[in-house]
Amino acid sequence: MAVTPPQDRLWWKEPLARMEITWISIAFVWGLVMFFTMVYWHIDGKQNLSNEAYRISPDAFAEKVEVFADEYTVREEGETGIPVVRPPAGGDAYMLGRLWDWWPILELKKGESYRLHLSSLDWMHGFSLQPANINIQVHPNYEMVLTITPDKAGVYSVVCNEFCGIGHHQMVGRIYVTE
Amino acid sequence: MATTFAHRVCPDTGLKVCRNAEALIKANAVVAIVFLAIGGLFGLLVALTRWPAVHILPADLFYLALTAHGADILIFWIIFFEIAILYFASAVLLNCRLATPRFAWLAFALMLVGALMGNVAVLQGESSVMFTSYVPMQAAPHFYLGLILFAVGALIAVFVFFGTLVVAHQEKTYEGSIPLVTFGAVAAAIIAVYTIASGAIILIPTFLWSVGLIGEIDTLTYRVVWWGLGHSSQQINVAAHVAVWYAIAALTVGSKPLSEKVSRMAFLLYIAFLPIASAHHLLTDPGLSSEFKIFNTSYAIYLAVLASMIHGMSVPGAIEAAQRRNGFTQGVFGWLRNAPWGNPAFSGMFLSVVMFGFVGGISGVVLGTEQLNLLMHNTLYVTGHFHGTVAAGTTLAFMAITYLVIPLIFRRELILKRWCKWQPYLFGIGTFGISMLMMGAGTLGVSRRHWDMTFSDATLSFDYPPAAFLMMGLNGIFAVLATIGGIMFVVIVVGSVLAGKSRDAEAAKTSPIIFQGGGATIAGHGGEATLKLPGTVTLVTVFFISFVLYYFVNWKFLSEVWPLS
């Protein structure tokens, strides 16, 4: 029994049954398939997270985002007048997370690529783009740069999905994708 | 010959049960179940708050309850119980005395003080930082200190376990190799050492930071090292509950491992590869390379997954082989139909095997795939996954073995026999439901650790799809079901320990706990000729097909997301 010492003292010499060998082989090959699927997707898949990131202080990042917003704001929205910023197609877009909002609102054009810079000014936040369902961890002191290509027009929301304190559930941002 | 030590001879097994080990197993198991009860009730409050129509707690208490639920269940319940398992798998199964009982009591005291300190810190309301306590969000210093004391205690207990193995070996209390269950416990203990070391490396500086002695802790470093604790501690559970599966299968239907070699190799793979994989939690973090992520998240080419798939074949295989020997040979599944489904130890164990594999296991691999993770990171899918592993898998397995521990170690008959029969099913269905529904809601994007999915007081509005609301309502209902199962369990355990009929030698003869098939059943196993197990082949085939289909369906989902690079 499994609760007593092995009956056959030379248990490591027992031959394997065919069923065991077959199953172990299948499981091992399946592991290889899953491993190389990840590698393959880097070569031929269209959804990969960038490895590009920089160390940056929250102040420096906030300043970059302000400069970006000053330059490309097209209108303001909501009671608090959040700027809606339309970056040039193919250019850089910035969004910061802080307690408790995502700032600013972005307006992107469908089919164009943007270099999206994400960072936090305080605690960790979770960039959860809905309903596209793209979820990215956002750290303070790290600026992550990823290239995104929105392929469907619509109104997208950015929910915070990393717990960031009592106002966590109010933290919603927005991205518009226009035709 | 074995030296003498204070012991009793178990009328059920004939084993010598060391009095110290017995007392420590009882103490650790009882405290574990107290924390299960506390943590479980916090879990109910969390689920009722996330049920949009009920929404019972205000935001601050919700986050408090969620922190307490995580700490009490994921750390205190599970590790106290695992320490009891380690003492059982060493001193009791090896028929020897427990090494350094004083240190074992010291370990127990430290763990208890740490766990109480952590709970007090959380209940005071200044430490609602979640079980993960990510910096720079700060908890009260005694929150971290409590965790550190608990970890030190657990580490001492693990070394008492290792010491007991040495004692058993030197005093020659067993012949040949240690039993498979003890081998599995060794795997769990080795992973525990790694885990606790990671915890110390990150929690000690975090404690110093909380009292102002360290200026700043890097968030990425914190996450990388913390998950060496957080993920690996769940791997202790995997190794421990697999060992428990083998133990229950042996005790309830008299099963013997199909192959000692294969099962032990699988445990060795756990030791070598399970402790990596902290990257499961870091796949969408900045500043880590894809090479690191792919290697780490796949436990190097999925070698730990391979190990789990091996156990997934060999546990049901061992049961089938035993049942066929016991005479249940008709058809493909006659052995399963005629299994002791009314014995809560068996039913709990088998449900745990199936749900850990199909729900927790498959979802875990999908979630831990580098690119697929961005579909689900930090959504309720993650929570659904680990309720499949920790609640439906580990907790149910530990509940199941408790039904054997009460008569064998506490020497008490179970009370409320009908409740015992139904409890694993209620808890199993409840936890199955919450796992699946949270995974469903997560697939629709619902955030984990979130008080208000309606975003009613947010400046910008957002609505999750109606299906997500439906799922969260159903999730609440299944959580209530799981809670009823949990309450029944606690009542059965407390009632049996306090008021159960004392189990004497006579009872051991008339109503045996341990399978009485005799030696012939056991001796016949092993070797190619005897292994015709069509039921197990069918089960693993169904499992494999589900796994492959679900895996590639998720790649299909991913391919529909905005192109990212």
Q: What is the pLDDT of residue B524?
A: 44
* DSSP label at residue B332: T
Residue B522's pLDDT is what? 43
Rg (CA), chain B: 23
Do the Cβ atoms of B136 and A79 come within 8 Å? Answer: no
Q: What is the pLDDT of residue B188?
A: 96
Which pLDDT belongs to residue B507? 86
Residues of A in Cβ contact (< 8 Å) with B286: 53, 118, 137-139, 142-144
pLDDT number for residue B390: 96
Residue range of the domain that includes B81: 7-559
Domain A53-178 has CATH 2.60.40.420: yes
Tokens of B386: 């680990």
In this prediction, residue A79 carries a pLDDT of 79
> CB contact, 8 Å: B498 with chain A?
no
pLDDT at B3: 63
**Residues in chain A closer than 8 A to B452 (CB atoms):** 169
Question: Which residue in chain B is spatially nearest to A103 when comparing CA positions?
Answer: B460
Which residues of chain A have a CB within 8 Å of the CB of B465? 131
pLDDT, greater one: B430 or A18? B430
> In this structure, what CATH number is given to the domain that contains residue B210?
1.20.210.10
Q: What is the number of domains present in chain B?
A: 1
pLDDT reported for residue A177: 97
Residue B562 is nearest to which of A38, A149, A160, comparing CB atoms?
Answer: A149
Nearest CA in chain B to A53: B287
Measured CA to CA in angstroms, residue B406 lies from B186, B366, B399, B483, B484 at distances of 23, 38, 11, 21, 21
**Contact: B262, A20; criterion CB under 8 Å:** yes
Name the closest residue on chain B to residue A151, using Cα atoms. B562
pLDDT reported for residue B283: 93
Torsion B463-B466-B471-B477 (CA) sign: positive
Give the whole-number percent of chain A exceeding pLDDT 90: 85
Of B179, B290, B306, the CB nearest to A4: B179
| CB of A41 less than 8 A from some CB of B | yes
Print pLDDT tens along chain B (565 aa): 446 789 999 888 888 899 999 999 999 999 999 999 999 999 999 999 999 999 999 999 999 999 999 999 999 999 999 999 999 999 999 999 999 999 999 999 999 999 999 999 999 999 999 999 999 999 999 999 999 999 999 999 999 999 999 999 999 999 999 999 999 999 999 999 999 988 888 999 999 999 999 999 999 999 999 998 888 888 899 999 999 999 999 999 998 888 999 999 999 999 998 877 788 899 999 989 999 999 988 888 899 999 999 999 999 999 999 999 888 988 999 999 999 999 999 999 999 999 999 999 999 999 999 999 999 999 999 999 999 999 999 999 999 999 999 999 999 999 999 999 999 999 999 999 999 999 999 999 999 999 999 998 888 889 999 999 999 999 999 999 999 999 999 999 999 999 999 998 888 888 888 887 644 344 444 444 456 899 999 999 999 999 999 999 999 999 999 999 8
Nearest to A11 among B177, B223, B290 (CB): B177
User: Would residue B2 count as lying in a domain?
Assistant: no
In chain A, positions 84-143, which contact chain B (CB-CB < 8 Å)? Answer: 101, 105, 113, 118, 122-124, 126, 128, 130-143
> What is the ipTM, given to two decimal places?
0.95
Residue of A97, A177, A139 lying closest to B282 (CA atoms): A139
Beta A105-109 vs A172-178: how paired, if at all? parallel
N residues, chain A:
179
Instruction: Tell me how many residue pairs between chain A and chain B have CB atoms under 8 A apart.
Output: 311
Distance, in angstroms, between B2 CA and closest chain A CA?
17
User: Is there a contact between B371 and A35 (Cβ–Cβ < 8 Å)?
Assistant: no
- pLDDT score of B278: 81
Flag whether B60 is in a domain: yes
Contacts of B450 in chain A (CB under 8 A): 159, 161, 163, 168-169
For the record, the structure tokens of A21 come out as 């060998």
The reported pLDDT for the residue numbered B104 is: 97
Q: Which residues on chain B are in Cβ contact (under 8 Å) with A99?
A: none
Q: Say whether residue B93 is in contact with chain A using an 8 A CB cutoff.
A: yes
What is the structure's pLDDT at B232?
87
At residue B444, the pLDDT reads: 95
Q: Can you tell me which residue has the tokens 């500086």?
A: B205
* Interchain contact A76–B (C-beta under 8 A): no
